Amino acid sequence: MTRQPLHVVIIGAGLGGLCLAQGLRQQGISFDVYERDEAADSRTQGYRIRIDATGQQALAACLTPELNQLFRQTCAVSHSDGRFLDTQLGRVEGRPSGNWRPSAVGADPSGDGDLSANRLTLREILLCGIEDRVHFGKAFRRFDARNEGVVTIGFEDGTACEADILVAADGVNSTVRRQCLPLLAPKETGAVCIYGKSLPPSDGQVADTLLDGTSVIFADDFAVIVDAMTFRFPLAAAGLTPIADYLYWAVIGRRTSLGLDEAALREADGEALAARVQYLARSWTGGLRALFAEADRSTIAALAIRSADALPAWTPSCVTMLGDAIHAMSPAGGVGANTALDDAAHLATWLSMAAIGKSTLATAIAAYEDDLRRRANRAIAASLQGAHRLFGEGAAI
């Protein structure tokens, strides 16, 4: 069957956009990725990211076997499948999200369970082999789809390019979505995530319980996630940025529970956020308080959590979307990034059908978007359920 020429432009070089690019590369489909940031590491975008079975399957579908093996090898090694604790580090039944799955245990990259990846490392792996097709320092301005079958993409620097399909993978503040589906902007939920990392302690003050695997700690109307990121694979040997072992932590809850009004959230720096977390933890056991006392202030940041409503149908076009650009959701369900990776794998498959003539491009996009809405709406509902579990039944998200 004759392969149809097809060129895809992806706006955004985050995990979802790069996963799609790798999937298109596997399918032999031409693409370019444009990213407003100057480099992959030019700003902090979080540290640990938990990859569940759905995300792992998507990465396996889009990456070469060698890169997929590298992804699995570079994830943190855990000797515990996870635990639920109170603020005195006593074991509790907990209120885990319905999507919670145990961590993969041991250093075998083929084992079952969720994997904890360092975000920058995963992004560098997703860039492998496609560096010449990813263009940094290119901020999207607007698109023009008036010419049937061709979309023209303009950038802030005055340059432009053309594509058969434009994919918005530019995150929760998507400028592409703002132009084509402005009514689907995500809404503020009233919840906040404060996150950072601490180096593994040498003085024994941080409780041993927190030094292996993932811990979920339930406080009053908010929760803390702690993940011991311990690596065994020599990243430098694979040309990846070396990462020292660290303890990732995130405090997630309603803004009122965390004592952060809008102004405080906007103005707080690492020192102020560290002070806020230490205040919240003032009555907790010392082995947990020490985690925050030893935190690297330069890594601490806060993020207001936004979420999409359930997605309605829209008319398919030569512009489509994936990930937070269309279905931002609370991290409480642990499914947002995994859903974005899943979007990428599905979209790559549908575009390959169009490329080999088994579907028209319009039919492929319509089918992808129908499936996207079903999967995204399940994930948004799961994130809502996860928030209720973590923050209590009165949670707003």
| Best mean pLDDT range from 97-111, 135-149, 174-188, 211-225 | 174-188
Residue 97 has pLDDT above 50, yes or no: yes
Distance CA 209, CA 291 (A): 12
- Is residue 274 a part of any domain in this protein? no
Distance CA 270, CA 245 (A): 20
**3-state class percentages of the chain: helix first, strand second, coil last, to nearest 5:** 40, 25, 40
What is the pLDDT confidence band of residue 109, given thresholds at 50, 70 and 90? low
- Is residue 281 a part of any domain in this protein? no
Model pLDDT, residue 85: 94
Residue 63: both structure tokens together: 């990456």
Containing structural domain, residue 353: 7-68+119-187+315-391
- Is residue 130 a part of any domain in this protein? yes
Residue 23 has pLDDT above 80, yes or no: yes
State the DSSP H helix or E strand holding residue 372, giving kind and residue range, or none if neither: helix 361-391
- Is residue 57 a part of any domain in this protein? yes
Total domains present in the chain: 1
377 or 221, higher pLDDT: 377
Distance CA 199, CA 111 (A): 27
CB 343 within 8 A of CB 349: no
pTM for this prediction: 0.94
- Is residue 307 a part of any domain in this protein? no
5 or 108, higher pLDDT: 5
CB 251 within 8 A of CB 198: no
Residue 98 has pLDDT above 90, yes or no: no
Predicted confidence (pLDDT) per residue in 227-282, tens digit: 999 999 999 989 999 999 999 999 999 998 999 888 888 888 999 999 999 999 99
We report the CATH number of the domain holding residue 369 as 3.50.50.60
Model pLDDT, residue 34: 98
Distance CA 393, CA 64 (A): 43
DSSP string covering 135-198: EES--EEEEE--STT-EEEEETTS-EEEESEEEE---TT-HHHHHH-GGG--EEEEEEEEEEEE
Q: Tell me the mean pLDDT in the region 190-218.
A: 89
Residue 395 has pLDDT above 60, yes or no: no
- Is residue 386 a part of any domain in this protein? yes
- Is residue 110 a part of any domain in this protein? no
Distance CA 65, CA 183 (A): 40
**Which residue from 164, 182, 175, 172 is spatially nearest to 140, judged by alpha carbons?**
175
**Torsional class of 381: left (φ above 0), alpha (ψ -120 to 50), beta (otherwise):** alpha
- Is residue 278 a part of any domain in this protein? no
Predicted confidence (pLDDT) per residue in 314-333, tens digit: 999 999 999 999 999 988 77
Distance CA 16, CA 264 (A): 31
**Which residue from 21, 1, 14, 111 is spatially nearest to 344, judged by alpha carbons?**
21
